[in-house]
Amino acid sequence: MNNQLYLIIFWILASCGMPVSSSYQDKTISVISAEKTLWAGGRAGVKGSMYTIKLKKRKTAVITIKTLRAEGNTIPFSQDDSGNIITLKGNFQYKNEEESKVADIPEGVSTSIPDVQNLNPKDSWIEYTIKGSAVTYKINIPKFTSVQPAGDSIP
């Protein structure tokens, strides 16, 4: 009886660290930071956002990022892998529907152009795949932290 009790206790303790299903497994990838830098170009009304997202992956995982969605917009991005850190940098230029109106304004006149973008901060995520799997995974980006541009960060 004692041996059976020890065996049951051992089995319970040994199984505590093991996941019951794949939804309980350690994350393959997690968001370390998500930053947003607003920029303005040399022409009136030309502006946008630069997004920088740092992800941490398990050292053995080979991750391919498929889609970056930031504030409701699909963003073209570049990916840099260094060790177990993946850095994504994407740029989104706001549509300038007021550009034709600005072109007709005489030089030297102050203008104020409202943002015409419909940004949705809750619609931010990354789609990725893991080497050897055909399954596409999705991880949400909870919030972007606004940072001030440093130097020549305008794309």
Phi-psi sector, 97: left (phi>0), alpha (psi -120 to 50), beta: alpha
**What would the mean pLDDT of 26-48 be, rounded to a whole number?**
86
Lowest mean pLDDT among 31-35, 40-44, 56-60: 40-44
Total count of residues recorded for the chain: 155
pLDDT at residue 114 in the model: 41
The tens digit of pLDDT for each residue in 97-144 reads 555 455 555 554 444 444 445 678 789 999 999 988 889 999 999 999
pLDDT at residue 104 in the model: 52
